[in-house]
Amino acid sequence: MKHRIVVLGAGYAGAFAAGNLARRLSPADTEITVVNAVPDFVERMRLHQLAAGQDLAFRKLTDVFAGTGVRLRLARVTGVDPERRTVAVTGEDREDAKGGARGDGELAYDTLLYALGSSVAHHGVPGVAEYAFDVTGRASALRLRERLAGLGGGGTVLVVGEGLTGIETVTELAESRPDLSVALAARGQLGTWLSPKAHRHLHQAFDRLGITVHENTGIAAVEPSWAITADGRSIPADVTVWSAGFAVHPIAAASGLEVAGTGQIVVDRTMRSVSHPDVYAAGDCAYAIGDNGRPLPMSCASAGFTNMQATAAIIARLTGSEVPTTGLEYYGNHISLGRRDAIIQMVDGDVRSKSWYLGGRTAARIKSGVLRGAGWGIAHPTFGMPKRKRRLATATEPAGAKVAA
């Protein structure tokens, strides 16, 4: 029988991993199935643009995986049983599509790559679930887009959260809708982690775009037309956009896999579950320790690092090779400030900002190139296809091959 590899999720981590596995492993020995709830590859890093009213093209996953041998199952994951090595799925409440298997059922696996990503974290704040919008998924970004389209000039928008998602979202909205009054609520000081010059550039961009910043302002509740701060003040907000962090789905914790307090799957240096050696995790759902000894943050960069390490480990163990270790180190942040401005901030091994940074149109063009490159990589999963794919070893060691130093 062929070795069954099941990849859960086709975001940046899952889609890249599936294409890489298909490119490097022989189809005579392996069967790769990708489970995803929607039929398209969604570029999460562009969803703030979609919400701001820009039209984006989404690639069909059936087209992405055409010719690779990867099987696509359009369904939502409802459970994982790592003892029986099965995944429960349902085809209910999801978009229809041409191509790809459908319906409820159970999938058996020999190796599982869990890459279900994350969603917005409400942090238990009253009113967020009922009244706030977010840009962590296409459906939610489209919901925000529709609401903004119906908001007349002079309307108020409050973005909550001073992280990268909050900064990119608030600047995109302010640039796209100068007729609106746009504000950002930050729990601390805006951009203090940036180098001094980059910090000034960020504040100059906010001033240029007319964004009001409420620093040292925690949000205690969200109402339909305003937000209530931790000290009892009210901030007008016809639309509140919540970008105060990410949360993973509780499926992993419910499955019996060892998870961290965040609900992320605890993995070793090769992205293998520390409790179940047939399971790997990549992307936001992996609790992985970076080269600096700290947990990797939930981000697209982490999705890249972890999926490369996970696929390298899976391939090596299945083919009886030494498991390589890929880098888990950040070099910088690319921050869009609308379509014509950006900041590229370099960081050191401890993720502290270096003095050098690049800003303005050049930085914006580089950020755009990064996004295009990521999209191109997803659309061409067989690029660089080896003439001879690697065959599986006649016997593999469940506990793992030797890991390269």
CATH code for the domain in which residue 26 is found: 3.50.50.60
**Residue corresponding to tokens 């499955």:** 255
340, pLDDT greater than 70: yes
3-state helix, strand, coil split of the chain in percent (to 5) is: 30, 25, 45
- For 6, counting Cβ atoms within 10 Å of its Cβ (0-12 exposed, 13-18 middle, 19+ buried), the class is buried
Question: Same domain for 232 and 346?
Answer: yes
Q: What is the mean pLDDT of residues 317-329?
A: 94
Strand 246-247, strand 101-102: pairing = unpaired
Question: Same domain for 184 and 232?
Answer: yes
398 assigned to some structural domain: no
pLDDT in tens, 49-108: 999 999 988 899 999 999 999 999 999 999 999 999 999 999 843 444 444 445 578 999
- Bridge partners, 76 (sequence order): 90
> Amino acid identity of 160?
V
CA-based torsion, 362, 365, 369, 371: positive or negative: positive
Give the percent of the chain with pLDDT over 90.
84
Closest CA to 187 of 161, 169, 206, 164: 161
- For 242, counting Cβ atoms within 10 Å of its Cβ (0-12 exposed, 13-18 middle, 19+ buried), the class is buried
Question: Same domain for 347 and 323?
Answer: no
Question: Which whole-number Å values give the CA distances from 344 to 171, 213, 356, in the listed order?
Answer: 16, 21, 9
Say how many CA atoms lie within 13 Å of 121 toward its Cβ: 14
pLDDT in tens, 352-393: 999 999 999 999 999 999 888 888 887 777 666 675 688 898
pLDDT at 377: 81
Question: Same domain for 239 and 338?
Answer: yes
Work out the mean pLDDT of the chain and round it to a whole number.
Answer: 92
- Bridge partners, 231 (sequence order): none
| Torsion angle in degrees (nearest 10) through CA of 32, 88, 284, 359 | 70
Quote the domain boundaries for residue 18.
Answer: 3-118+248-329
Q: Which two tokens stand for residue 31?
A: 């069967």
Q: Which two tokens stand for residue 300?
A: 């697209």
pLDDT at 57: 86
391 assigned to some structural domain: no
**Residue corresponding to tokens 């993973």:** 248
Question: Same domain for 321 and 355?
Answer: no
31 assigned to some structural domain: yes
Question: Same domain for 153 and 110?
Answer: no
Q: For residue 289, which phi and psi values (nearest 5 degrees)?
A: -95, 125
Cβ(349)–Cβ(58) below 8 Å: no
pLDDT at 370: 87
Cβ(278)–Cβ(82) below 8 Å: yes
pLDDT at 103: 54
DSSP codes joined into one string, 264-299: PEEB-TTSBBSS-TTEEE-GGGEE-B-TTSSBPPSS
Question: Same domain for 175 and 230?
Answer: yes
Question: Same domain for 37 and 152?
Answer: no
Number of domains in the chain: 2
pLDDT at 261: 96
pLDDT in tens, 217-275: 999 999 999 999 999 999 999 999 999 999 999 999 999 999 999 999 999 999 999 99
- Beta strand segments in 70-205, E: 71-74, 76-81, 86-90, 101-102, 105-108, 111-114, 119-120, 156-160, 181-185
394 assigned to some structural domain: no
Question: Same domain for 319 and 256?
Answer: yes
> Amino acid identity of 140?
S
Q: For residue 133, which phi and psi values (nearest 5 degrees)?
A: -115, 165
Question: Same domain for 294 and 310?
Answer: yes
